[in-house]
Amino acid sequence: MSEMPFILSNRDEDRKIFEAMINKTMASFFRTMGDGKAFSGIDPYSLRRKVKEMGFLPEKGIGFDAALSKVEETVLANLLRTWSTSYMPHLHSPALLETICSELLIASFNDSMDSWDQGPAATEVEEAVIGGLLSLFGYPEGSDGTFTSGGSQSNISAIIAARDYYLDRVFSTDTKKKGMPPEYSTLRLYTSEISHFSMDKACHIMGLGYDSVRKIPVDDKCRIDLKAFERMVEEDRAKGLHPFCAVATIGTTDFGSIDPIGGMREICDRYGIHLHADAAYGSGAIMSSTYKSRLGDLSLADSITIDFHKMFLLPISCSAVLMKNGKKLECFQLHADYLNREEDEEDGYINLVGKSMQTTRRFDALKVLMAFQTRGREGFDEMITKVIDNASHFFHLINNDEDFISSVEPELSSVVFALKDGDEVNRRVRRMLLEKGTVIGQTVKDGKVMLKFTLLNPNLEKEDFPPIISEIKKCRDKVKEEM
Ligand SMILES: *Cc1c(COP(=O)(O)O)cnc(C)c1O
């Protein structure tokens, strides 16, 4: 029996094959990188047909070279180029080179975060990185955290922990064992009307439903209206409802607006509410010596969501949730005989499965370690300060241009604006740009269709804006001719 092909092993031949495959893969990537455009512009129907034509599972494999060339032609050619400076619709960034290299190591070793014996150094690195993050965000001794698959999972993890703690404290319920008490449906979560939809999704998954999410109005700067927040809490309490959690958005997905964490803390303290900071977007600004004060004091929050695959420019996925009272994360603790034996934990073998919703889990913390070591705080300061400066510069260009309507002045790196010509023109302009390989965002504000630039790419220069603005105007003229 010969050895199985294409499986990592210590044999010399396999190492050579692996190296050659990596070189071929890189060559394929460089051939398809393109000329700077964000997208080939292919329409969805043609792309769907081409993908189908590749087939699914041939009886006999075609081998790596043929598979790679098939993928190069159909898939790589039509992938989105996140590094393009004409890509700015979402909180979706180009990846730092050292972190792409880390991905190769993460996949090659394929260690897992559930137990110490599945990732000895991985476990110790994640714990050390979490420790560093806890102090970066000003959390005290006794705080704790874990890496997650993304901001949505970080948010739901925090909300579940808040719920279990609340039910234990207020209804003396052991939810892990007994499930939810009869009063469960009276629980309410508070967040702004423009917060991320993962809060609604979380409350649905947790059996509370969308209606348990109380949407607080925002002021003219898209920040939570504190008076309305307190009024809603009081009204709900008077009705016999139970406010258990509030979520401050530290960087709303569309506007980058930042809720007042200090004011929310005072209200939450008055009513015994867990305050979660959804800093999936804004957390990156902690690295900017110029702008970090805009975030407010995040250490006032009971838990914090950090996304590394947004402002921090790490490859997807990479996120963490921090918990000021680390004990609240014990809601995910469960002992399995085969995995995380208590006797091992007494001897210093940490099993991180006990802090997470996931079991098998990627060693994403390596990417943070590599990026932080490579660039230092100064390196991140420069990149993140630059993208926030860019947003402010673009906002002022739009604000002084009669063809556009501007929106709130950005605190982070997103600018929402519109052409003065109405919803349909704005909609069609965005679509026309996509077909030409320039990808920008679209959203709605006060019932109006708006365009959006989410500026995460530090390679974008101030000089790049005037040509993009004139491209938008050219599209507008063409769209108006066609209408
Ligand atoms: C992106 C985002 C999320 C969701 O994070 P994922 O990593 O996409 O799951 C949550 N909250 C805010 C404010 C976000 O911008």
Cα 150 to averaged position of ligand 1 atoms, centre (Å): 7
CA angle 23, 24, 27 (to 5 degrees): 85
- Whether residue 317 is preceded by a cis peptide bond, meaning omega within 30 degrees of 0, is yes
Q: Is residue 82 in contact with ligand 1, taking CB distance under 6 Å?
A: no
11: Cβ contacts below 8 Å, ≥ 6 apart: 3
State the DSSP code for 195. Answer: S
- Grouping H, G, I as helix, E, B as strand and the rest as coil, residue 270 is helix
Q: How far is the CA of 38 from the centre of ligand 1 (A)?
A: 22
Question: Contact 455/387 with Cβ under 8 angstroms?
Answer: yes
Does ligand 1 lie within 6 Å of residue 255's CB atom?
Answer: no
| C-beta of residue 223 within 8 angstroms of C-beta of residue 258 | yes
Q: How far is the CA of 152 from the centre of ligand 1 (A)?
A: 6
| 444 has pLDDT over 80 | yes
- State whether the beta carbon of 93 lies less than 6 angstroms from ligand 1: no
CA of 240 to the centre of ligand 1 (A): 32
Helical segments of 360-456, H only = 365-399, 423-435
Say what the pLDDT of residue 336 is: 80
Q: Is the CB of 191 under 6 A from ligand 1?
A: no
Closest C-alpha residue for ligand 1 atom 3? 151
Q: What is the pLDDT of residues 352-387, one digit of tens each?
A: 999 999 999 999 999 999 999 999 999 999 999 999
349 contacts: CB under 8 Å, gap ≥ 6? 115, 116, 117
- Closest to 278 measured CA to CA, from 233, 224, 209: 224
97 class by beta-carbon count within 10 Å (0-12 exposed, 13-18 middle, 19+ buried): exposed
Indicate whether residue 364 lines ligand 1 (CB < 6 A): no
Ligand 1 atom closest to the CA of 279, numbered from 1: 13
Tokens encoding 210: 């969308």
Instruction: State how far the Cα of 449 lies from the Cα of 316, in Å rounded to an integer.
Output: 29
Ligand 1 and 95: CB distance under 6 A: no
DSSP 8-state secondary structure symbol assigned to residue 284: G
Paired tokens of 339: 């995995």
User: What are the strands of the beta sheet with 213-216, ordered from one edge?
Assistant: 144-148, 319-323, 303-307, 274-279, 242-249, 187-192, 213-216
Residue 251 CA: which ligand 1 atom is closest?
A: 13
Helices (H), 33-119: 44-53, 64-74, 97-109
Angle subtended at Cα 383 by Cα 465 and Cα 439, rounded to the nearest 5 degrees:
40
Q: Give, for ligand 1, the residue of 261, 281, 306, 318 to mutate: max count of ligand atoms closer than 8 Å to Cβ.
A: 281
Cβ 143 vs Cβ 134: under 8 Å:
yes
In degrees rounded to 5, what are phi and psi of residue 321? -120, 130
Cβ(289)–Cβ(385) below 8 Å: yes
Atom of ligand 1 nearest to the CA of 195: 13
- Smallest CA separation from ligand 1 atom 10, residue: 151
Is the minimum distance from the CB of 253 to ligand 1 under 6 angstroms?
Answer: yes
pLDDT one-digit tens code per residue, 223-272:
999 999 999 999 999 999 999 999 999 999 999 999 999 999 999 999 99
Spatial neighbors of 293 by CB under 8 A, at least 6 apart, are none
Q: What is the pLDDT of residues 31-73, one digit of tens each?
A: 999 989 999 999 999 999 999 999 999 999 999 999 999 999 9
Looking at the DSSP bridge assignments, the partners of residue 417 are: 406, 451
Statement: the pTM of the whole predicted model exceeds 0.95 = yes
Confidence grade of residue 338 (pLDDT, cut at 50, 70, 90): confident
Calpha distance 16→458 (Å, rounded): 37
The arithmetic mean of pLDDT across residues 1-20, rounded, is 87
**Cα(280) to centroid of ligand 1, in Å?**
5
